Structure 1
Amino acid sequence: MNPQPSGDRLPREYLKIGFALVLGAAMAMLDATVVAVATRTLAERFGSPLSAVAWVSTAYLLTMSVVVPLAGWAMGRFGGRRVWLLSVTAFLVGSVLCGAAWSIPSLIAFRVLQALGGGLIQPVGQALLGRNVGPRHMARVMAVMSVPMALLPVLGPAVGGLLLAEWGWRWIFFINVPIGVAGIVLVRRWVPVSVGGAGSAGPAGNAARFDIRGFALISPGLAALVYGCSAAGDHGGFSSPAAWGPVLGGLLLVTVFVLYSLRTKIQPLVDLRLFRDRAFAVAMLNAALMGATLFGAMFLLPLYFQQAHGFSALRAGLTLAPQGLGTAISTFAAGRMTNRTGPRVLVMTGTAVATAATLPFAMVGAGTSTAALMAPLFLRGLGLGLVMAPLIAAGYSTLRRESIPQATTTFNILNRVGGSIGTAVLAVILVRGLADRAATPAHVASAYSATFWWALACTAVTLVTAAFLPGAKAMRAALAAAAVHQSADAAGPERKPVTAAA
């Protein structure tokens, strides 16, 4: 099941692989947005304070931070498809148990089980896609997959509100079951098992020895960083020991891991030597900055419509529909243009458009109408949609296929850490701005205006790093080299696709 593409035609087999894998990622994203809407309902149902219910999400995020670094090693040891199937299964078991929870502590425990699978679904799925599709068609398949992912932040609050109103809180977890089961069936049918490399299974694969020292450093380090950033947002700054303690501890552990991984003679859990590749290094830097931009804005925009305009969480989520629509449209277009124009032009154009479209939010006042912000939201979505698929394509363009699992692990770590830092910084600025002002519409709007200026600056910074991404000529050369490597791999004995179940 390895079609040889002719011209720029996108083989149907690649679309089938992408569709099957995106079901898992979509399920995890839908779960996150739906659970966020249900926080107050869970507090009322179990008679618990919001601070305790917040751990339903916090425990999930921390566990995901711990397991994400395992993605590359797990794929080499057990096989990419097998790890994906086990991850989705664990997520589904956790979802059913969450729906059957009898208390907040039991719900938190089952969310940890859910996250053990959820943390691996996206990086393993992304690596499987790169391994089966290859760099030439990566941007186009990623673009097709990103369309539903762009719409889910809009649909999530609506789905969550409907489930809570009509069926009850337990169904915000049970809804995962049909999606996950469909994904398992289609992945078993459409995604091949390969002997060797990212899709390998068992001892025949790239079964490197488990890096226990690296795991003891990077996983708790990332969890501490994520927790410290979350605590900074909750406490209004990094001056609280609950914030700076975990952040400093996390930075220390991550720094020690960096030094260790560059010197160890075994395969490190996260291979930082990939950063010797210029295209990969620049793409990963942009991924971290885009994580800060995307996740920071996802935090800020709904809150703005709730506090400044008095919208409910459901209405605020639906108000963001123009941004999701713009992202879906431009993502699809970017996938078709990446190989022809090169990632640099698309990422710089998208960043410039997103920056310009954020400007109206930095100028909001008490009298700013919602209608006046719909066009900027749509344009912001158009800009962001031009960025992600070309960025991933650029990062993978110069890598051999056996490096893809490590690359996806690194991408997801940097994107997640960047998002945590960006969200924390914007939360601190907003909390301080609101605390310094009386709770009048004008002052609330002023606090959000000042915070959006920082969000705009964060978006604009990526213009500088995007200038170092590959252009059209460099991209064509990288794809030509990748095609040669792919042909050599296909001719070798280690490349023997089979379709038996993992």
Structure 2
Amino acid sequence: MSGTTRVAAPAGLVPPGPATVLRRTLAVTVIGSMMAVLDMTIVNVAMRSLSESFGAPLETIQWTATAYTLALAAVIPVAAWAMARIGARRTYMTALVLFTLGSLLAACAWDAGSLIAFRAVQGLGGGLLQPVGMTMVMRVADRRRLGRAMAVGGLPILVGPVVGPVLGGWLVDAASWHWIFLVNLPVGLLALALAVRLLPRDTPDAGTRAAARLDVPGLLMLSPGLALLLYGLARGGERGDFTAPGALLPTLAGAALTAAFVRRALTVREPLLDLRLLRDRTFAAGVTTLALFTCGYFGSMLLGPLYWQQQRGLSATAAGLLGAPTGLVVGTAMQFAARRVDQVSPRRLIPAGVALAALGMALLAWQAGVPGVAAWRFVASAMVMGAGVGTVLMPTMTTATRELPVDRMPAASTALSINSQLAASVGTAVLSVVLGAAGQDPAGFRVTYAVAAALLSLSLLPALRLPGRRRP
């Protein structure tokens, strides 16, 4: 969507400089993203405890994660419209309120059904945090230093997977399941207070508000379409069969609605999501690279915990601790690579990261097929993969969006968020089916890791179409 915003400063005060505005924006968005990432990893660890506390089967409790994902998918498409209508600052503060309120309600849940409903409220807030936060950072960052800003914004990806499982296990063991949600309250209130004080006041002008008409037909296609598509993929992955009616019908319905939205978005004047961004060669190459890479990487994240617990007989906490070194490597490599992309050719840096990640995933496939392999060898292979992942994710997002006009940033960040969510869900479903078909034994894990390595390798093709050097 087109449109401009103006940043207002109180009368009589000298507005802060660009560097100060960027630091303040990053402080707020990092805290908000940290809360959302930690919540997802904490809840995943507590599934069994929630099942026992509510006396509900694990399949029912899994809906706490599914409801969050479906609500997230339904709300992401309205992010660009909301920013144009009420401003990014107000939209972000609304997301913080929804997420914090959802956390309080979830802590007060009295049965599995109420918990699932309140997790959906959390998902409505969580779905807006990433695209709106990314948009605010991209708007205020100097284009020459956008990589550094994105590196700082990616800190939650470093901390969340490392701290979340350990913190979640400790809260459940030392206190109760309520605290996996109550821990969000002080963080959410802090982020909200800082947002009120630090975020720049972006005021949409009259022309922007007038142009920001909600594309209701598009919304009725895309939001239900994404939710049905993700639901069908999740059900197919759980059952190991995409042809079952419970998986096939919602998948086909979601795909049809999404395809209808794509057709509409390319023909109407003011679509809900501006897919004409894909005419930009760099943005299209970045989106395709991220889709394939995210499919392989995030899809494979279910394999590590299953391998350690089922093949090696370890506890969930031990499996989480063995995954922590990979999370540290991902975050460290991301900090380095996201800064380097400001000075070096993306066409050299990002394909090198893809190759390194695929190598690490192939090493995991080899190690997983060896019964009784030393734990350090498996962890070391995962760390090699993590180094490549950190070199790809944020640098690709930075490269894809750096040269876009400021008024197209909301649509770009929304498209990237939808792209990542869909690709991760597809990857998880596909690899779940592969593992179910191959068998959850060493040979089955080897085959599944090999498929993940192949998906990572495929992302080399679009990565080689990224720009060879920065435009001056």
In the superposition, the TM-score normalised over structure 2's length comes to 0.93
Greater shift in the superposed pair: 200-209 or 81-90: 200-209
- Name the CA distance, whole Å, in 1 between partners of 2:293 and 2:46: 27
Match of residue 416 from structure 2? 411
Match of residue 459 from structure 2? 462
1:219 aligns with 2:223: yes
Contact kept? 1:151, 1:321, Cα under 8 Å = no
Q: 1:333 aligns with which of 333, 336, 357?
A: 336
5 Å-filtered alignment, 1:69-108, equals 69-108=77-116
- Name the CA distance, whole Å, in 1 between partners of 2:395 and 2:380: 24
Match of residue 24 from structure 1? 32
Match of residue 49 from structure 2? 41
Q: 1:351 aligns with which of 346, 354, 357?
A: 354
Q: 2:275 aligns with which of 272, 275, 288?
A: 272
Contact kept? 1:135, 1:393, Cα under 8 Å = no
Match of residue 375 from structure 1? 380
- Name the CA distance, whole Å, in 1 between partners of 2:407 and 2:88: 12
Change (3 A) 1:212 1:372: same
Match of residue 285 from structure 1? 288
Match of residue 67 from structure 1? 75
1:244 aligns with 2:252: no
Q: 2:320 aligns with which of 317, 320, 330?
A: 317
Match of residue 388 from structure 1? 393
- Name the CA distance, whole Å, in 2 between partners of 1:185 and 1:206: 30
- Could you tell me which runs of 5 or more consecutive residues in structure 1 were left unpaired when the two chains were aligned: 5-10, 435-442, 481-502
Match of residue 398 from structure 1? 403
Contact kept? 1:37, 1:313, Cα under 8 Å = yes
Change (3 A) 1:201 1:240: farther
Match of residue 212 from structure 2? 208
Contact kept? 2:37, 2:156, Cα under 8 Å = no
1:447 aligns with 2:444: yes
Contact kept? 2:236, 2:242, Cα under 8 Å = yes
Contact kept? 2:33, 2:156, Cα under 8 Å = no
Contact kept? 1:291, 1:419, Cα under 8 Å = yes
1:276, CA displacement in angstroms?
0.9
1:90-113 CA distance string (max 9 Å, x none): 111110010011111111111111
Match of residue 119 from structure 1? 127
Contact kept? 2:21, 2:200, Cα under 8 Å = no
- Name the CA distance, whole Å, in 1 between partners of 2:455 and 2:113: 37
- Name the CA distance, whole Å, in 2 between partners of 1:24 and 1:40: 27
1:185 aligns with 2:173: no
Contact kept? 1:284, 1:395, Cα under 8 Å = yes
Match of residue 233 from structure 2? 229
Q: Secondary structure at the match of 1:263?
A: coil
Contact kept? 2:290, 2:459, Cα under 8 Å = no
1:260 aligns with 2:264: yes
Q: Secondary structure at the match of 1:194?
A: strand
Matched to 1:387, the amino acid is: V
Change (3 A) 1:179 1:206: farther
- Could you tell me which runs of 5 or more consecutive residues in structure 2 were left unpaired when the two chains were aligned: 1-14
Q: Secondary structure at the match of 1:94?
A: helix
1:332, CA displacement in angstroms?
1.2
- Name the CA distance, whole Å, in 2 between partners of 1:334 and 1:187: 28
Q: What is the RMSD computed on CA atoms of the aligned residues? A: 1.6
Matched to 1:227, the amino acid is: Y
- Name the CA distance, whole Å, in 2 between partners of 1:2 and 1:431: 56
- Name the CA distance, whole Å, in 1 between partners of 2:382 and 2:154: 18
Matched to 1:385, the amino acid is: G
1:335, CA displacement in angstroms?
2.1
1:3 aligns with 2:7: no
Match of residue 305 from structure 1? 308
Match of residue 63 from structure 2? 55
Greater shift in the superposed pair: 368-377 or 87-96: 368-377
1:413, CA displacement in angstroms?
0.5
Match of residue 298 from structure 2? 295
Contact kept? 1:2, 1:132, Cα under 8 Å = no
Contact kept? 1:79, 1:205, Cα under 8 Å = no
- Name the CA distance, whole Å, in 1 between partners of 2:16 and 2:337: 24
Contact kept? 1:135, 1:397, Cα under 8 Å = yes
- Name the CA distance, whole Å, in 1 between partners of 2:468 and 2:187: 39
1:201, CA displacement in angstroms?
7.4
1:390-416 CA distance string (max 9 Å, x none): 111111122100000000110010111
- Name the CA distance, whole Å, in 1 between partners of 2:207 and 2:111: 42
1:2, CA displacement in angstroms?
6.0
Contact kept? 2:158, 2:332, Cα under 8 Å = no
- How many pairs are equivalent? 456
Greater shift in the superposed pair: 233-242 or 143-152: 143-152
Greater shift in the superposed pair: 400-409 or 106-115: 106-115
Matched to 1:143, the amino acid is: A
1:432, CA displacement in angstroms?
1.3
Greater shift in the superposed pair: 142-151 or 403-412: 142-151
Greater shift in the superposed pair: 367-376 or 121-130: 367-376
Contact kept? 2:92, 2:132, Cα under 8 Å = yes
Matched to 1:391, the amino acid is: T
Matched to 1:420, the amino acid is: S
Q: 1:147 aligns with which of 148, 155, 158?
A: 155
- Name the CA distance, whole Å, in 2 between partners of 1:233 and 1:201: 46
1:315, CA displacement in angstroms?
1.2
Matched to 1:418, the amino acid is: A
